[in-house]
Amino acid sequence: MKKITLISATLLMSLLLAGCTAHYTEEHAVSQHSTSSSKKHPSTASKKFTNKIDLHKKYKGFKLATIPTQYRGTWYHANAYEKNATKLVITTHTINGAAAYQQTDPNLKLNRHSEKQNKEYAGNAVVVKSVNNSLKVRGFLDLVDLVYRPGQFKGQPCLFMSYGTNPKATNGAIFKDKSAALKYRKFDFSKVN
């Protein structure tokens, strides 16, 4: 049972980390299509997709956020069943290629089932909130936060991660050092406070 829980937690964490990666836009789909058909249209083969972050884009009820310094940098996470580490880059205003925003209108209610809001809040952006020495991150219309808490694990600087309904639970960790991420990829972080 413990092994199944660990596998489930690892898979969920991998999916959430993938959700923190940059969202692809319609431009990417067009670029992908034109690149894959480059044999028929040589002029389109030179088009390359660049994942641009628009830090000046306005979203109703939100403003550009500044990520606290203890979370910034290049971090690494390794899945228990992978031999390579995944990189997570957090800068002053971005998390893994997505612009970070904070909610300014407390009365704004987001509805993931709203077609209008799905169009209005689409793009390379996430919502962040810094609370009690933790950073909560989610997509505009997502229901669950990915929570990062700075700390140390066996002498290595890390961000402990939690997701789901209990933000105080520890489901994993990301490290500044890639080799530490690989070394502790099979560690059960649920026992860390």
Q: Length of the chain, please?
A: 193
What pLDDT score does 22 carry? 38
% the chain with pLDDT above 70: 73
Dihedral (C-alpha) 193, 189, 128, 22: value to the nearest 10 degrees?
Answer: 170
Q: Does residue 23 or residue 17 have the better pLDDT?
A: 17
The DSSP code for 167 is T
* 3-state secondary structure (DSSP) of residue 138: strand
What distance in Å separates the CA atoms of residue 91 and residue 85, rounded to the nearest whole number? Answer: 19
Give 70-133 as a DSSP string: GG-EEEEEE-TT-SSEEEEEE-SSEETTEEEEEE--TT----TT-HHHHHHT-SSEEEEEEETT
CB 22 within 8 A of CB 97: yes
Answer yes or no: is pLDDT of 2 > 70: no
Name which residue leads in pLDDT, 181 or 164: 181
Q: Which residue has the higher pLDDT, 16 or 56?
A: 56
More confident residue, 11 or 181: 181
- Residue range 37-60, pLDDT digits in tens: 334 334 344 344 345 777 888 999
- pLDDT of 143: 87
Tens-digit pLDDT profile for residues 107-153: 999 999 999 999 998 888 999 999 889 999 999 999 889 999 999 99
On whether the CB atoms of residues 65 and 93 are closer than 8 A, the answer is yes
Position 169 scores a pLDDT of: 86
Predicted confidence at residue 41, as pLDDT, reads 39
CA-based nearest residue to 98, from 133, 131, 62: 62
Q: Is the pLDDT of residue 1 over 60?
A: no
Q: What is the mean pLDDT of the chain?
A: 78
20's tokens: 């923190």
Distance between CA atoms of residues 26 and 82, nearest Å: 30
Residue 81, CB-side half-sphere exposure with 13 Å CA sphere: 9
